[in-house]
Amino acid sequence: MTNLIPLFHAARQAADLCARVQQTAVFRSEKSGQEPVTIADYGAQAILCRALMRHFPDDPVIAEESGAQFADLVSPEDRAQIAALVSDVIGEPVDQNALIAWLDHNRAVDASANRAPRAWLIDPVDGTKGFLALRHYVVAVGMLMDGEPTGAVVAAPIYPGGGRLFYAVDGASYSLPLRGSLDHGAEAARMRVSSRADIPLARAMESAEESHVSHDRLARARGLAGLDEARVEQADSQEKYCRVAAGDAELYLRLPRKHSTRPHMIWDHAPGVALVRGAGGIVTDIDGSPLDFTLGRTLARNQGVIATNGQIHDALIEAVGRLLALEQAESGSSAGL
Q: Is 53 helix (H, G, I), strand (E, B) or coil?
A: helix
Bridge partner residues of 289 (DSSP): none
Which one of 16, 41, 268, 285 is the catalytic residue?
41
CB 278 within 8 A of CB 173: yes
Handedness of CA 155, 107, 272, 188 (dihedral sign): negative
Annotated catalytic, 41? yes
What's the CA gap between 101 and 85, in Å, rounded? 17
Measured CA distances, 177 to 4, 161, 181, 183, 188 (Å): 16, 10, 8, 11, 8
Measured CA distances, 133 to 17, 136, 138, 236 (Å): 17, 9, 14, 10
Which one of 38, 59, 104, 128 is the catalytic residue?
128
Q: Is 193 helix (H, G, I), strand (E, B) or coil?
A: coil
Q: What is the DSSP string of 277-336?
A: HHTT-EEE-TTSPPP---SSSB-TT---EEEE-SSSHHHHHHHHHHHHHHHHHHHHHHHT
CB 206 within 8 A of CB 223: no
Residue 188's φ and ψ, nearest 5 degrees, are -75, 135
Annotated catalytic, 308? no
Residue 49's φ and ψ, nearest 5 degrees, are -65, -35
- Active-site positions read 41, 128
